[in-house]
A = this chain, B = another copy of it.
């Protein structure tokens, strides 16, 4: 099973995704080339096109895989706290920020897709699943159904908050603020604030 053993080594697709993920992480979303990924996988530069349509298609796959991991991380974070607790909500936010911090390249890829994946229904669906995790936690907390507009609205508020913080964080913009930020305290405070103001529209 050495890499050289097989003409068809079977898992080239997975190996390419892994290589691309690494490249995206170390050289930024732009500093990646299909050729370099193929080189790392030990195959010719034309081989990737047997598994992916084109360059955006590869990035799409990496983004999709990243979204799956993000959703799992959020679910696990929520599951570590009592259902309906404020901590569960804050933990989801922290998982989100942690993901952005540990894999800024993939994170940026997931949310910065503008090459050729505007119409990528699978990515759209994965994204809605991620949002669904937040919605569920908020619904549990507020003791309302998930399709309640108020729940959706609060969940979106929390999401945009955490999303913005994540981006500013990986862009190094947090340093402009004099006070250093403790993510857990910050997210707890935000969650409480957003979920408390029930009289909103």
Contact = CB atoms under 8 A, between A and B. Distances in A.
Interface of A: 28-31, 105, 108, 111-115, 118, 127-128, 131, 147, 149, 152-153, 155-157, 159-168, 171-174, 176-179, 181, 185, 189-190, 193-194, 197, 200-201
Nearest to A155: B177
Nearest to A171: B111
**7 closest A-B pairs (Cβ-Cβ)?**
A164-B164, A163-B164, A160-B164, A28-B114, A160-B165, A149-B179, A156-B177
A131 B179 contact: no
Contacts of A156: 168, 174, 176-177, 181
Nearest to A147: B178
Contacts of A149: 178-179
Contact of A167 (B111, B155, B190, B200): B111
A179 to B, nearest CB: 4
Contacts of A179: 149, 152-153
Interface centre among A114, A159, A167 (most CB of B within 10 A): A114
Contact of A176 (B115, B131, B176, B178): B131
